[in-house]
Structures are given as C-alpha cells and as structure tokens.
C-alpha cells in the first residue's frame, strides 16, 4: 500500500505546496513524474535482488530507504529538493508491489495463487481511496510536511511488521547469483519473449487508462468537479470500491471460471465504461458527481478482474526468474504511467471529454494486445490432424 500512498496522499496539498515553493500546476505534476521514473528504473533491480538475496531482506532495505526519503521530503524547502527526495522515494517504493508478487507465487500455485492475488488487489485498492482523504485531513491539522511525516511513520510500521511476521519464501538453494551480465541477459530474454510483451502491454495500457484519471485527480476534482481539498473521496472511493468488488469477484470465481474468460469479461467491462464516460461528457457542459465518476468505477472493476489473471500468466512463463519477470512487468507499466503523469495528463486534464477520450484510447490499445495474445495462444494449441485418422464422411 505504501507505493500508492506516496502518490495519492499528496494530491490535496498541491495548491499549498505550489504556493510555498513557487511552483505552478505543471511543475507540481513533476513530483509524480520524478517519483514514477525513479520507481520504474529501480523496478528493474528489486526483483533480481530478491532472486539473489531473498525476498524479506530486500523488502526491509527498501522500507528503510523509503523512511529516510520521506523525512527528506518533509524537510525540503525548495522544489528541486522535494523532487530529489521524491525520486528517492520512488527508488525504494517498488519493493512492496514487485517483491510481494514474487512472494505470492513462491508459496502458492494455480487457483490458490489467483485468490490470494485478488485479495492483495483488494488491500492494494484501499490505499488510493484512503490516501487523499487522509491527506486532506492532515492538511486541516498541519501544513503539507505532515503528509511526509505520516508516510515515514507508516513505512517504519510496515518494516516492523515485515521483520516480525513475514517469513522468507525464497530459500538460499533456490537463489540465483547476482551478476550484471547474467542479469542483462536474463532481462533481454524475458523482454524479447513475445507472450511476455503482449501480456505486459495489455495490463499496462489497460491500467494506464485508470492512471490517467489518478494522475489528473487534482485538476479533475478541484477544477472540473468544483470540489475542495477534503472532497477527493468523491472520486477515489467509488473508483476503489469498483476495484475491490472486482478483486472480490475474481477471488470468488477462481477455479470456477477459466482465467482467460474472466480477463475477457474484465476488458468488456472496461470497454463499456469508456463508452459511458465519453457519452456522458458529450452530453454535459460541466461534469458533476456522482455521474462523472461512475464510469471510472466500472473500469476499475474490469481491471481487477483481468489483472490477477494476466500477472500470474506472466510469472508462470519464468518459474526460476519470477522476481525479474515481476520487475520487468512493473517497469513497462510504470514507464507508461510516468509518461501519462508528466506529458499526457497536463494536456488533457482541463477537459472531461479529453480525459475520457484519452482513457478510452488506452483501454483500446490494451485490449488489442490482449486479443493478439489470445489469438497467438490459440494458434499454438492447434495440432495438425493426420489425414489417415479422418472418417470417410469427414473426408
């Protein structure tokens, strides 16, 4: 949870931070981009480190660095200082998401792994709903540095919980040596795998549609919807409710519905959500709650159905390199998100219709990659029939 907490808790404080540090909206948007670019780059290292050194040790080290980075953000007095410590936060925050996926796959398989991945998605989904509301409350009590003091305390508490309660799931006999040449060779092998590319891009672009709204939340909530700093819940709570409901459904139907069919259903929900979103914004001059956020909630529901299935399919492609595969998947997704936050969001966040069209384009591209993967998978399963085995009537 502390990864999305690092992004979303800060949203209500954008106006206050910008006024104190002399930063406009575009400059404040870079506090997200700096975090995500560092997150993406370091995500290539977290997984292999956990493959070589063990999962628990890497998680504890990442949490320790995150505590120090959060303290640096709280004490920053200029925008460059804040951006530098935000980047340091990004370098460490990926251990939860990336190494956590590998932990699940270390200990569980098949439908049991899908159920636990869905439960983790529910927990993960709580953070973006709670974080901006908590950030607004903290702003009502103290100025913006209090948000980073809270993040430091939260990460320290997580470190204590991991140290006391998380077992090591990757024992020394299963570990891989950490050599730069073999690491690069491993990444090249994973990155050139056609199925890995299709699956990662399908998940990354589909989630990118939702992240476009998340990255644009300050403009969407404060400017387009006309709400205040303590009303971010009007956007985040319905969105995360959809994600949690989807994760719950995904876990309940694991083993009853084929994974590919479930992912197809998820993409269908996302497609319908985008059509509703575009239709609504075409029909109104000014978006308003709750109608402006309900399509986003349906899209989040669809993501939660599809994402666990796609993630497990990726990890199953590389059973001895699960950490590296999780890292590279996260890297692709985060790279897309960094471009969205730093480039696309400032361009489209002034208009509800432009936001809806941008999100729909991402869903369409993600679905096309998923369709490509399904077609290639079916082609691989086809076995040529022997002519001699055919019945005369079939001939």
Q: Is the pLDDT of residue 207 over 60?
A: yes
Indicate the SS3 state at residue 170. Answer: coil
CATH number of the domain that 215 lies in? 1.20.1250.20
199 in Cβ contact with 313 (< 8 Å): yes
- The string of pLDDT tens digits covering residues 288-347 is 888 999 999 999 999 988 888 888 888 888 877 776 787 788 788 878 887 887 788 888
pLDDT of 129: 67
**Positive or negative torsion for Cα 333, 337, 338, 339:** positive
pLDDT of residue 84: 93
Token output for 362: 């991402």
pLDDT greater at residue 242 or residue 173: 242
> Would you tell me how many other CB atoms lie within 10 Å of the CB of residue 343?
11
* Cα atoms in the 13 Å half-sphere on the side-chain side of 392: 0
- Identify whether 250 is part of a domain: yes
Strand partners, 254: 257
Asked whether residue 181 is assigned to any structural domain, the reply reads: no
pLDDT reported for residue 384: 44
Which residue range is the domain that position 349 belongs to?
A: 2-166+186-377
Which residue has 């007095």 as its token pair? Answer: 77
Bridge partners of 257, per DSSP, are 254
pLDDT at 385: 40
172 lies in some domain: no
> Is it the case that residue 270 has pLDDT exceeding 90?
yes
In a domain, 394, yes or no: no
pLDDT of residue 392: 40
Who has greater pLDDT, 257 or 222? 222
pLDDT above 90 (res 274):
yes
Contact 124, 4 (CB under 8 A): yes
Q: Phi/psi at 257 (nearest 5 deg)?
A: -120, 135
Q: Which residues of 26-61 are buried (b: 16+ CB within 10 A; e: fewer)?
A: eebbbbbbbbbbbbbbbbbbbbbbbbbbbbbebbbb
Question: Cβ distance 65 to 88 under 8 Å?
Answer: yes
Residue 116 binned pLDDT confidence (cut-offs 50, 70, 90): confident
pLDDT score recorded for residue 314: 85
Is pLDDT of 257 > 50? Answer: yes
pLDDT category at 379 given cuts 50, 70, 90 is: low
Q: What is the pTM of this model?
A: 0.72
Is residue 180 a part of any domain in this protein? Answer: no
Q: What DSSP string describes 212-278?
A: HHHHTHIIIIIIIS---TT-THHHHHHHHHHHHHHHHHHHHHBTTB-HHHHHHHHHHHHHHHHHHHH
Look at the chain and report how many structural domains it folds into. 1
Residue 384 in any domain: the answer is: no
**Mean of per-residue pLDDT scores for the chain:** 83
Helix (H) or strand (E) holding 85: helix 79-94
pLDDT(170) > 70: yes
What percent of the chain has a predicted confidence (pLDDT) above 70? 92
Residue 391 included in any domain? no
In a domain, 175, yes or no: no
pLDDT (average), residues 178-196: 80
Q: Is the pLDDT of residue 233 over 70?
A: yes
**Per-residue pLDDT tens digits for 146-165:** 999 999 999 999 999 999 99
- Retrieve residue 152's tokens: 């430091």
């Amino acid at each position: 949870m502390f990864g999305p907490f690092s992004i979303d808790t800060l949203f209500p404080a954008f106006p206050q931070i910008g006024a104190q540090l002399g930063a406009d909206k575009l400059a404040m948007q870079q506090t997200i981009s700096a975090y995500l670019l560092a997150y993406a780059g370091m995500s290539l290292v977290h997984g292999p480190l956990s493959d070589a050194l063990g999962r628990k040790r890497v998680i504890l080290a990442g949490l320790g660095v995150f505590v120090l980075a959060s303290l640096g953000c709280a004490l920053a007095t200029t925008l460059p200082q804040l951006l530098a410590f935000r980047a340091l936060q990004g370098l460490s925050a990926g251990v939860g998401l990336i190494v956590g996926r590998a932990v699940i796959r270390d200990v569980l398989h098949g439908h049991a792994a899908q159920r636990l991945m869905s439960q983790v998605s529910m927990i993960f989904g709580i953070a973006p709903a709670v974080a901006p509301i908590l950030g607004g409350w903290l702003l009502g009590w103290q100025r913006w540095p209090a948000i980073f003091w809270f993040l430091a305390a939260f990460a320290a508490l997580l470190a204590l919980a991991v140290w006391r309660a998380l077992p090591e799931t990757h024992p020394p006999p299963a570990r891989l040596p950490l050599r730069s040449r073999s690491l690069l060779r491993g990444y090249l092998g994973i990155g050139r795998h056609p199925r890995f590319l299709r699956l990662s891009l399908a998940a990354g672009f589909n989630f990118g549609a939702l992240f476009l709204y998340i990255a644009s939340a300050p403009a969407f909530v404060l400017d387009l919807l006309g709400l205040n700093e303590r009303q971010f819940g009007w956007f985040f709570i319905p969105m995360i409710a959809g994600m949690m409901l989807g994760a719950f459904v995904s876990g309940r139907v694991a083993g009853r519905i084929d994974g590919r069919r479930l992912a197809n259903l998820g993409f269908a929900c996302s497609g319908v959500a985008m059509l509703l979103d575009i239709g609504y914004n075409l029909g109104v001059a000014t978006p308003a709650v709750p109608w402006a956020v309900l399509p986003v909630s349906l899209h989040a529901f669809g993501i939660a159905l599809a994402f666990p299935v796609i993630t497990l399919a990726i990890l199953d492609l590389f059973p001895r390199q699960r950490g590296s595969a999780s890292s590279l998947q996260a890297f692709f997704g985060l790279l897309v998100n960094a471009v969205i936050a730093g480039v696309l969001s400032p361009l489209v966040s002034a208009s509800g219709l432009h936001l809806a069209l941008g999100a729909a384009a991402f869903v369409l591209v993600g679905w096309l990659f998923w369709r490509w993967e399904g077609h290639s998978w079916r082609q691989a399963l086809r076995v040529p029939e022997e002519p001699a085995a055919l019945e005369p009537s079939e001939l």
